[in-house]
Every structure is written in C-alpha cells, then in structure tokens.
Amino acid sequence: MQIVKEKILVIGACGQIGVELTTELRRIHGANNVIASDLRDEHELLKGTGPYVSCDVMNKEMLHVLIIRHNITQVYLLAAILSATGEKNPSLAWHINMQSLLNVLEIAKEEKLTKVYWPSSIAVFGPSSPKQHTPQNTVIEPTTVYGISKFAGERWCEYYHHHFGIDVRSLRYPGLISYKSAPGGGTTDYAVEIYHEALRDKDYSCFLSEDTYLPMMYMPDAIRATIELMEAPKENITIRSSYNLSAMSFSPKEIAQAIQKHIPEFEMSYREDFRQKIADSWPQSIDDSKAQEDWHWKPRFDLNTMTEDMLRNLKPLYA
Ligand code: NAD
Ligand code: AKB
C-alpha cells in the first residue's frame, strides 16, 4: 500500500484557533509538513516552529501557486471575519467569508486535494431555531451577516462534496475560550476578556447581560475535535455541511462566579452593546449527538476546569 505523506496548509494561522491548531498539526505531521499562512505578521508563538508564508486567501492565483509549489494535499481554511466585526462591515464580511471558501474549494477540485477543513459556527442558527439543545437539522434563519455567510458556506461544502467528491469536513464551533492567542472580533469574546481583566484589574464590564446563556468550548477541546473529525474514516462522516459541536453553556454571571472561587474580590458589571442582539439570536445550548455517534465526540472541559486552567496559565502575565 502506498502511504501518502500529507502536506498541510493552514490559512489564517495567526488567529485565535490557527496558532493552536497549527502547533498541534505540526506535532502530529512534522513541522515541515505544515505551512502556516496569514495576512498578518507571523504570530510570536509560531516563530521558529515551522514554515510561514504570507498569503491573502482572496488572491486565488497566489494561493493556487502556493498550493502547487508546496505540494499541498490538505487545507485548513480559518481566515474569516467574525460576528461582531461582520456587523460593522457586512459587505466586506460576506465577500471575505464567501470568496475565501470558494477559492479554496475550486483549487481543491482542480488539484485533487485529499481533504479540506472549514469551520462553521453556532451563528448559523437564528431566533427561529430552538434555543435549547438546538438539533443538527432544524430551522436555520440567521440574522447576522456572519451567520448568513456560514450557512451559505455549509451549503457550498456539501455541494462540492456531492458534485466533485471533495472530502471537505466542518464543525459548527461554539464560542471558543483560549489563553494563547486573542479572539478576533466575535460576540463570545467576553468569555476570554473576562479572565484577563479579572487578573489585571479585578473587575470587568461585560457587553452582554448577566443571564445571556451561550454555547462555549475550551480551546484544547476544540483542537481535539478538529483533529478527531479530520482523522475519522471517510465512511463515518455522514454530515457534509457542518457538525453541531458542544461542550458547555454558561451566562456571564456564572463565569464571574466561577472566577470568584479563585479571585473572591473580582467584580462584574454589565453594559450591553450591539453584541447583545447578536447573542440573543443564537442558541443557548447545542445537541451534538451526530458528532457523538459518527466520530465519538466527547468534551473534557467544563466551566470550572476551564477556569482553573485559564487562570493558572494567564497568572504569570499579570504577576
Ligand atoms: P481570527 O479572527 O482570530 O483569525 C482569523 C485569521 O485569518 C486572522 O489571523 C486574520 O489575519 C486571517 N485573515 C483574515 N483575512 C485573511 C485573508 N484575506 N487572507 C489570509 N488570512 C486572513 O478567527 P478565529 O477565531 O481563529 O476563527 C477561525 C475560524 O473559526 C473562522 O472561520 C471563524 O468563523 C471560525 N469560528 C471561530 C469561533 C471562535 O470562537 N473563535 C467560533 C466559531 C467559528
Ligand atoms: C463569534 O462570536 O463570532 C464567534 C462564533 C461563535 O462564531 N466566536
């Protein structure tokens, strides 16, 4: 049997997910087999860990040349404009989120790439979707440009799989919480900021109301879910749009209480802004039974274990 050596390109490698995903892919596949790329300068944590190429995913010709020149077999497309930034410039968000995906899918077809990964989001769901345990297949009427672009992207992934046989896989990530790299303009960013402010100033003014429940996940679980999905046998993958994925749900009040167990003097105040409306349109919890059935998904972190880990890792920054 001929063993195909995978050569991976991560687009958007300097973002919140990209830094940690690139690091894990390099650990698994070998540093030189994972090319990191982004518009921005190389992230500090990636420097010296493997090849880095500056590339704009919107420039299809440049991307195509990069993929041919490096004999790329798999692409992880992480470049996107997230929910809060997207509402400030809807046409730019639509253009970048859609065209980046279409560029990658077209090149995947032409170059017969073995796999493509592209993340969707809980933002595909809108106010008319069930709020609790939102099912895999349900009413999907997103009200943000980000959600609309993710929903359209899911349809394109399924289309390219069915019509051209592209092995494209996707997860609807909840809000992701991490300490290694900063979040990039989403509605769930408060759940990262709060840990920094709790350690630095012992208080935080939250832009969502105290009882706004949202689905969330700690980054190590998100990275493991991504790798497990991508390594699952092809025949197990029954969802070619995007899998619901779940770990925990909490409100700003509950995350503040979890932090107060470690920093009793921490105080939280609330000043809602435009992101409240976005959060109110999203589910409060997600049913991910298809991911459990198809590739045995199981999260490891809950609010308390994540809080302990976040504070332990961020403490030296503010000592
Ligand atoms: P991020 O904003 O932190 O990172 C995106 C990266 O893409 C940035 O480093 C940016 O410089 C780069 N980029 C933007 N435009 C580019 C272009 N034209 N060419 C090349 N690179 C470009 O985002 P993230 O949080 O890491 O999210 C990655 C993916 O996961 C996105 O598709 C996002 O929608 C999805 N997602 C993220 C979350 C989350 O909570 N972080 C949740 C659900 C889905
Ligand atoms: C955002 O808030 O925009 C992201 C997401 C849930 O997709 N974190």
The predicted pLDDT at position 3 comes to 59
Say if 117 falls within a structural domain: yes
Q: Which amino acid is at 250?
A: F
Contact predicate 242/147, CB 8 Å: no
Burial class (CB in 10 A: 0-12, 13-18, 19+), 158: middle
Residue 216 beta carbon below 6 angstroms from any ligand 2 atom: no
Is the pLDDT at 315 greater than 70, yes or no?
yes
CA–CA gap between residue 28 and residue 194 (Å, rounded):
32
Find the domain containing 285 and state its range.
176-216+247-318
Q: Tens digit of pLDDT for each residue in 21-62?
A: 999 999 999 999 999 999 999 999 999 999 999 999 999 999
Same domain (yes/no): 73, 148: yes
190 among known catalytic residues: no
- Answer yes or no: is the C-beta of 8 below 6 A from any ligand 1 atom: no
Q: Are residues 115 and 153 in the same domain?
A: yes
Give the orientation angle of helix 252-260 with respect to helix 190-200, to 10 degrees.
30
Are 278 and 163 part of one and the same domain?
no
CB 158 within 8 A of CB 240: yes
Could you read off the pLDDT of 10-19 as tens digits, one per residue?
Answer: 999 999 999 9
Tens digits of per-residue pLDDT, 54-103?
999 999 999 999 999 999 999 999 999 999 999 999 999 999 999 999 99
Q: What is the pTM of this model?
A: 0.98
Which helix (H) or strand (E) segment holds residue 222: the answer is: helix 219-231
163-196 tens-digit pLDDT: 999 999 999 999 999 999 999 999 999 999 999 9
* pLDDT digit string, tens, across residues 244-270: 999 999 999 999 999 999 999 999 999
Residues 47 and 84 occupy one common structural domain = yes
Q: Has residue 1 got a pLDDT over 80?
A: no
Of 192, 227, 262, at which residue does a domain stop? 227
% of the chain beyond a pLDDT of 70: 99
| Residue 312, both tokens | 């332990």
Atom of ligand 2 nearest to the CA of 174: 6
Q: Please check whether residues 180 and 85 belong to one and the same domain.
A: no
Q: Which of 52, 76, 117, 146 is catalytic?
A: 146
The pLDDT value recorded for residue 2 is 53
pLDDT on residue 319: 86
Cα 189 to ligand 1 centroid, rounded to whole Å? 13
Q: What does pLDDT average to over the chain?
A: 97
R_g (Cα) of the chain, nearest Å: 19
What is the token pair recorded at 92? 């730019």
Is the model's pLDDT at 271 over the cut of 60? Answer: yes
Under a CB-based contact definition with an 8 Å cutoff, are residues 194 and 206 in contact? yes
Sequence-ordered list of residues with C-beta below 8 angstroms from that of 248, at least 6 positions apart, any chain: 215, 216, 217, 299, 301, 302, 303, 306
DSSP letter at 99 equals: H
Q: Residue 286 class from Cβ within 10 Å (0-12 exposed, 13-18 middle, 19+ buried)?
A: buried
In a domain, 1, yes or no: no
For residue 5, what pLDDT band results from cuts at 50, 70 and 90?
Answer: confident
Are residues 199 and 116 both part of a single domain? Answer: no
Judge whether 88 lies within some domain.
Answer: yes
Nearest atom, ligand 2, residue 214 CA: 6
CA distance 144 to 147: 5
Ligand 2 pocket mutation pick from 16, 17, 81, 82 by most atoms within 8 angstroms of CB: 82
Phi and psi, residue 247, nearest 5°: -140, -55
Work out how many domains the chain is built from and give that number: 2
The alpha carbon of 82 and the centre of ligand 1 are apart by a number of angstroms equal to 7
What does the alpha-carbon distance between residue 222 and residue 246 come to, in Å, rounded to a whole number?
A: 9
Half-sphere exposure of 63 (CA within 13 A, CB side): 28
Instruction: Please state, in angstroms and rounded to a whole number, the distance separating the CA atoms of residues 183 and 185.
Output: 6
Instruction: Please indicate, yes or no, whether residues 202 and 117 belong to a single structural domain of this protein.
Output: no
Q: How far is ligand 2, taken at its centre, from the CA of residue 25, in Å?
A: 23
For residue 1, report the distance from its CA to the centre of ligand 2, in Å. Answer: 42
